[in-house]
Chain A
Amino acid sequence: MSVFHTRPALRWLVPTGTALAIIGGGAAVGTFASAAEPSLPERSAAQLLVDLQTARLDGLSGTVIKRADLGLPSLPGIGGQGSAELTSLISGTHTLRVWHAGPDKTRLALLGTLGETDVIRNGSDVWVWDSQQNEARHSTLGVGGGAVPKGRPDHLPSTPQEAAEQALAAIDPSTEVSVGRSATIAGRDAYELVLEPRDETSLVDQIKIAIDAGEHVPLRFQIIPQGTRTPAFEIAFTQVDFERPDPAQFAFNPPPGTKVTEEPLTADKPATSPASLERPTVVGTGWTSVLVAKVPQLAAVADADAQGGQADLVRSILGGLPKVSGDWGSGRLLKGKVFTALATDDGRVLIGAVTPERLYEVAQGNR
């Protein structure tokens, strides 16, 4: 201690050192955790695919972080951190907690700062609980069971499994499948499966799926857009436990004072589409398929002086987008990181994970 009396200025080394140690220690832990590459026995891409499809999941509970940076313009009432609204999942960073004990017992909790939205399936009962609105929605699945309705227009995968399933469905000859570097995720060793679209017009550069070496369950899912290394969309476990969770996790009884609504099953109901809408068509296959929908109302709203709050909202959103034109006509372009959307002035909407040029091409051929 005595050196601190003779040279009091040296005392400042202590807080500085403490601060540096804390910051440096934190950074080092992060770096080592991401740099550590566990050595795992070789496994081919085909083997990993089989592993994924044959994985039997008895039980699982864990915490999932979802990051979406799709390059969307910020829309009022959508997205944001700390929100527990299901629609906010479309952008920003979110924490979810999942429990799984067989296909008919699942619970998913979207954690907001001081709120929570739970989707609980227990047998044939499906509950959606919203703590901020203090309301619960209940629906009953048919006798045969069936899947949890996925008809939400904003449905984005909420677990790495779900995301991986959607990606694997897209595997076809246009996809190059390879094995990437192994990684440690949520403290577990994992293989990484890399899916790469061969088509140059795709905005997706790679899709990476990290698969648990022991349980063959996807632990992390990333979409990496062209021209960058940072994922535009990522779902990863930060903590995972393969014990079967307590059945009490799946029992939900609406607390007294809750507004409970009974909902019929909405599996096939087109959620937001007006009746006059034509069924959208899909042009192309695989990664570069483009969805084309005719929305005559859009054209009416865009140029006429249609009144009403919704028209104003649509106009203000469209008005903020860059105007584009070409042989195919003219319209507004929304360019995200992994997808592009084109709203033409004659009332067509084209969406795909492709470059704008490809959309123009489709718009030209699809008049």
Chain B
Amino acid sequence: MSAVDAVGDAAPSGVGTATGIGTAAEGGPAAGLDRTGGTGMGSDGQRIRRPGRAVGTRFFRSELRLIFGRRRNQAGMLALAAVPVIIAVAMRVTDVPAEGHNAPGFFSSITSNGFFVALAALGVELGLFLPIAVAAIAGDSVAGEANLGTLRYLLTVPVGRNRLLAVKYAGIVVFAFTVTLLVASVGLVAGLALFGGGPVTLLSGTQVGFGDGLLRLLAVCGYLAVGLCALGAVGLFVSTLTEQPMGATIAITMLSVTSFVLDQIPQLDWLHPYLLTHHWQAFGELLRDPVEFDALRPGLLSAAAYIAVFLSAAWARFGARDVTS
């Protein structure tokens, strides 16, 4: 331990960390330092107040550029944004009578108010598309860097492991909020263009003004994004387990799909409240009159619990892990 401390204190942390992780380069004598050294590096970001702190949001900003700048992510977001447009156009072209029996979600209301395109699109994408998008970003977060071999360079730039995790998770959170708002706003624009707006009819049969409706839509987006953030926390943990981003993404997607499937099995109703996705559908509570905010509490609490457990698990796994790529 003293050797590690000495390295950490004496050398600029860039050098110190390089010693810590460089299993292959250092060879024999350094091998003993490997784990502790690697771990020590995570914390010297906190112990040593170095001028690098002043960089502040630079890493975060570069992470955002990475997420929103990648072609594949842009293509994914385009696909997400296409769904509300397809819904709106299809409803416009086919002109199905409004009163459909058991029309799912808000489809029956679309023709009378374009506002509902946004809600219908969110409802449709919530089952698979949005979770896949978040899974792709979360799975890519740590495993992607490891796969490209950039993870150790990231850590040698004076970036602590905790800070790396924090920035990666912040990126996932921003992405989750962005895609939900993206789907809602594209849906809103498409809906208003094709069907027009006007007062919004709530589930309770009362009407509120369009502005009030927009506020509720914003709250729905916020609530759903919090749920997706919980999925993102699980994803960040899964991503620290592997160096294959594809594998992580698939695992996270399967987790969310499994959660949805289990939620449909009535025999497992004792399990339902604990499922990750169980409370997502409760966003409908925001469209009643009056809104009972108590009904949203279980969803938010469950998301907070998932985030706490899986972020700390990611921290435990990533802090204790040998970074070799």
Residues of A near any B CB (own CB < 8 A): 1-2, 4-6, 8-9, 11-12, 14-15, 18-19, 22, 63, 80-82, 92-93, 97, 109, 111, 113-116, 118, 129, 131-136, 239, 249, 252-259
Residues of B near any A CB (own CB < 8 A): 1, 4, 35-36, 39-40, 42-43, 46, 98-99, 101-103, 105-106, 108-109, 112, 123, 199, 201, 203-207, 266, 269, 281, 284, 288, 290, 292, 294-295, 305, 308-310, 312-313, 315-317, 319-320
Contact of B39 among A5, A114, A134 (CB under 8 A): A5
CA separation between A27 and B174, bound complex, in Å? 33
Q: Tell me if B284 and A6 are in contact (CB < 8 A).
A: no
Main secondary structure on chain B at its contact with chain A? helix
Contact of B288 among A93, A111, A258 (CB under 8 A): A111
Given contacts A6-B1, A97-B292, A255 and B316 within 8 Å (CB-CB): no
Given contacts A8-B35, A15-B316, A1 and B46 within 8 Å (CB-CB): yes
Contact of B305 among A22, A111, A113, A134 (CB under 8 A): A22
Contact of A239 among B203, B294, B305, B309 (CB under 8 A): B294
B207 neighbours in A (Cβ, 8 Å): 253, 255
CA separation between A257 and B110, bound complex, in Å? 11
CA separation between A344 and B197, bound complex, in Å? 59
Beyond contacts A8-B319, A97-B292, A114-B203: 9 other A-B pairs, Cβ-Cβ < 8 A, are: A8-B35, A14-B315, A15-B315, A22-B308, A80-B266, A93-B269, A113-B284, A115-B284, A133-B99
CA separation between A239 and B201, bound complex, in Å? 26
Main secondary structure on chain A at its contact with chain B? mixed
Cβ distance A141 to chain B, nearest Cβ, rounded Å: 20
Contact of B205 among A9, A113, A129 (CB under 8 A): A129
Given contacts A15-B310, A97-B292, A109 and B266 within 8 Å (CB-CB): no
Contact of B281 among A80, A92, A97, A113 (CB under 8 A): A113
CA separation between A130 and B230, bound complex, in Å? 33
Q: 29 A-B residue contacts at CB 8 Å?
A: A1-B46, A4-B43, A6-B36, A8-B35, A8-B319, A9-B320, A11-B317, A12-B316, A14-B316, A15-B312, A15-B313, A15-B316, A18-B309, A82-B281, A92-B266, A97-B292, A113-B281, A114-B105, A114-B106, A114-B281, A129-B205, A131-B204, A131-B205, A132-B108, A134-B98, A255-B199, A255-B201, A255-B206, A257-B112
Question: What residue in chain A is nearest B162 (Cβ atoms)?
Answer: A1
B281 neighbours in A (Cβ, 8 Å): 82, 113-114
A12 neighbours in B (Cβ, 8 Å): 313, 316, 320
Q: Tell me if B203 and A115 are in contact (CB < 8 A).
A: yes
CA separation between A161 and B203, bound complex, in Å? 26
B269 neighbours in A (Cβ, 8 Å): 81, 93
CA separation between A96 and B309, bound complex, in Å? 33
Question: What residue in chain B is nearest A133 (Cβ atoms)?
Answer: B99
Given contacts A114-B106, A114-B284, A259 and B99 within 8 Å (CB-CB): yes
CA separation between A80 and B267, bound complex, in Å? 11
Cβ distance A326 to chain B, nearest Cβ, rounded Å: 34
Cβ distance A275 to chain B, nearest Cβ, rounded Å: 29
CA separation between A9 and B35, bound complex, in Å? 11
Q: Tell me if A132 and B205 are in contact (CB < 8 A).
A: no
A11 neighbours in B (Cβ, 8 Å): 315-317, 319-320
A256 neighbours in B (Cβ, 8 Å): 112, 201
A249 neighbours in B (Cβ, 8 Å): 290
A116 neighbours in B (Cβ, 8 Å): 203-205, 288
Q: Tell me if B102 and A132 are in contact (CB < 8 A).
A: yes
B99 neighbours in A (Cβ, 8 Å): 133-135, 259
CA separation between A307 and B316, bound complex, in Å? 67
CA separation between A9 and B320, bound complex, in Å? 7
Given contacts A18-B308, A114-B281, A129-B205, A257 and B98 within 8 Å (CB-CB): yes
Cβ distance B37 to chain A, nearest Cβ, rounded Å: 9
Cβ distance A14 to chain B, nearest Cβ, rounded Å: 5
B204 neighbours in A (Cβ, 8 Å): 109, 116, 118, 129, 131
Question: What residue in chain B is nearest A113 (Cβ atoms)?
Answer: B281
Question: What residue in chain A is nearest B283 (Cβ atoms)?
Answer: A114
CA separation between A114 and B119, bound complex, in Å? 11
B317 neighbours in A (Cβ, 8 Å): 11
CA separation between A300 and B1, bound complex, in Å? 89
Question: What residue in chain B is nearest A238 (Cβ atoms)?
Answer: B294
Contact of B101 among A4, A115, A133 (CB under 8 A): A133
Question: What residue in chain B is nearest A254 (Cβ atoms)?
Answer: B205
Q: Tell me if A63 and B205 are in contact (CB < 8 A).
A: no
Question: What residue in chain B is nearest A11 (Cβ atoms)?
Answer: B316
CA separation between A95 and B4, bound complex, in Å? 59
Cβ distance B202 to chain A, nearest Cβ, rounded Å: 8
Cβ distance B267 to chain A, nearest Cβ, rounded Å: 11
CA separation between A80 and B102, bound complex, in Å? 14
Cβ distance B125 to chain A, nearest Cβ, rounded Å: 14
Question: What residue in chain A is nearest B272 (Cβ atoms)?
Answer: A81
CA separation between A135 and B109, bound complex, in Å? 12
Cβ distance A243 to chain B, nearest Cβ, rounded Å: 13
A19 neighbours in B (Cβ, 8 Å): 309
Question: What residue in chain A is nearest B35 (Cβ atoms)?
Answer: A8
Q: Tell me if A118 and B315 are in contact (CB < 8 A).
A: no
A63 neighbours in B (Cβ, 8 Å): 292, 294-295
Q: Tell me if B205 and A255 are in contact (CB < 8 A).
A: yes
Question: What residue in chain B is nearest A79 (Cβ atoms)?
Answer: B266
CA separation between A101 and B281, bound complex, in Å? 31
Cβ distance B123 to chain A, nearest Cβ, rounded Å: 7
B312 neighbours in A (Cβ, 8 Å): 14-15, 18
CA separation between A161 and B207, bound complex, in Å? 30
Given contacts A12-B316, A14-B315, A81 and B205 within 8 Å (CB-CB): no
